[in-house]
Each structure stands twice: as structure tokens, then as C-alpha cells.
A and B are shown apart, each in its own frame.
Chain A
Amino acid sequence: HTMDSGQIDQQLAQDLELERQKGKIQQEIFQKSEMCWDMCVGSMSAKFDGKTESCIVNCVERYVDTAVAIQKRFQEKLSMGRM
């Protein structure tokens, strides 16, 4: 079976796209882990205490809130012709 230069195996295209998406999410997790580590983790211990754990979870949640708020406000500015 020969393949023309313009033709791509559909299944392969799907598989590659899936890996690409997974990679994107992995990058997001890496980035947030770094950020929230810096914000929340103090001295080293054998286990995180409740305060540190909730700080990390809050960190992620507030980051997403920030992204949502910025997107919303940006849309508003666009529709008002202010940007």
C-alpha cells in the first residue's frame, strides 16, 4: 500500500492528536505544580499537613478562577470596543 504525500492515515492522525492534548495537560500540571509548590510548601516533612494540602488545592482552583475571570473581562472589553 502506497501513500500519496498528501494523504495521512486517519487513525494515526487521531492518535497523534490525542497524545498532543495529553502533552498539553501534562505541561499545565507541571507548571501549576511548580507555582503552587513555591507558594505553599515550606520546610520538608514526612507528609504534607492539612494546611499545605489545602493551600495547594486552593492554589490550583484560584488559578483557574483567575484564568476564567480574565477571559470573561477580555470578552467584555472586546465587545465594548475598548481594545
Chain B
Amino acid sequence: MDYSGGSNAKLDPAKRDEFMNEVKQQLAIASAQELLQKMTNKCFKKCITKPGTSLSNSEHKCVAMCMDRYIDTQNLVAQAFSSRLQQEMSRMQ
């Protein structure tokens, strides 16, 4: 995507920062919502095998563990992916 145009256009830096902060915030919110959605799907599958009339204590416990494990998974993936990305990029140079 090419946003470039004339180089004389300059926003007031404070306005630009304000706009970027707004953008970043919106992105963070959307990202968190997506994460919660995925977690709900995965943890429901893992923990609620026979739906009862309410969530049992063990089901609550399982969901709590599941959330932590899912975050662990994301951290492992982020780490493995970023180091591999760096490897591939240095190979291309």
C-alpha cells in the first residue's frame, strides 16, 4: 500500500501522535477480542465434554488452566517464529 504523496504535507505532530495512539488502541482491542474468542473455543472443547446445567468447579479450574496454557502456547510460538524469521531474513541477505 502506498501512502506516500507530496512531501510537503505535515500534520501537527501532536495530532499525528493522537491519531496513532487511537489506531494502536483500536488494534489492541481488536487483537484482545480475537484472542478471547480463540481461547473460548479451544477451552470449551478441552474442558466441557458433557454440557451440564452449569459449569462445575472442575470445569472452571480446567478453563483457568487452559487460558494459561494457551498464553504459554502463544509465547512459545511467538518466540520460535520470530527467531526463525530472523534466521530466514539473514539467509536472504
Q: Do A and B bind each other?
A: yes
Which A residues lie at the B interface, using CB under 8 A?
A: 1, 3-4, 6-13, 15-17, 19-20, 22-23, 25-26, 28-30, 32-34, 36-37, 41, 43-46, 48, 53, 56-57, 60-61, 64, 68
Q: Are A12 and B20 in contact (CB under 8 A)?
A: yes
Known contacts A16-B20, A53-B76; can you find 14 more A-B pairs with CB under 8 A? Answer: A6-B6, A8-B3, A8-B5, A12-B20, A17-B1, A17-B3, A23-B27, A33-B38, A33-B77, A36-B73, A37-B73, A41-B73, A45-B65, A61-B80
Contacts of B47 in A (CB 8 A): 44
Contacts of A30 in B (CB 8 A): 34-35, 38, 74
Say what secondary structure dominates the interface of chain B: helix
**Contact residue range for chain B?**
35 or more
Contacts of A53 in B (CB 8 A): 76
Q: What is the CB-to-nearest-CB distance from B9 to chain A, in angstroms, rounded to a whole number?
A: 3
Q: How many A-B residue pairs have CB under 8 A?
A: 110
Q: What residue of chain A has the Cβ atom nearest to residue B2's Cβ? A: A13
Which of A10, A36, A44 has a CB less than 8 Å from the CB of B77?
A36
Q: Are A68 and B3 in contact (CB under 8 A)?
A: no
Which of A7, A34, A43, A64 has a CB less than 8 Å from the CB of B84?
A64
Q: What residue of chain A has the Cβ atom nearest to residue B34's Cβ? A: A30
Contacts of B9 in A (CB 8 A): 3-4, 7-10
Complex formed: what's the CA distance from A25 to B23 in Å? 17
Q: What residue of chain A has the Cβ atom nearest to residue B61's Cβ? A: A44
Q: Are B88 and A68 in contact (CB under 8 A)?
A: yes
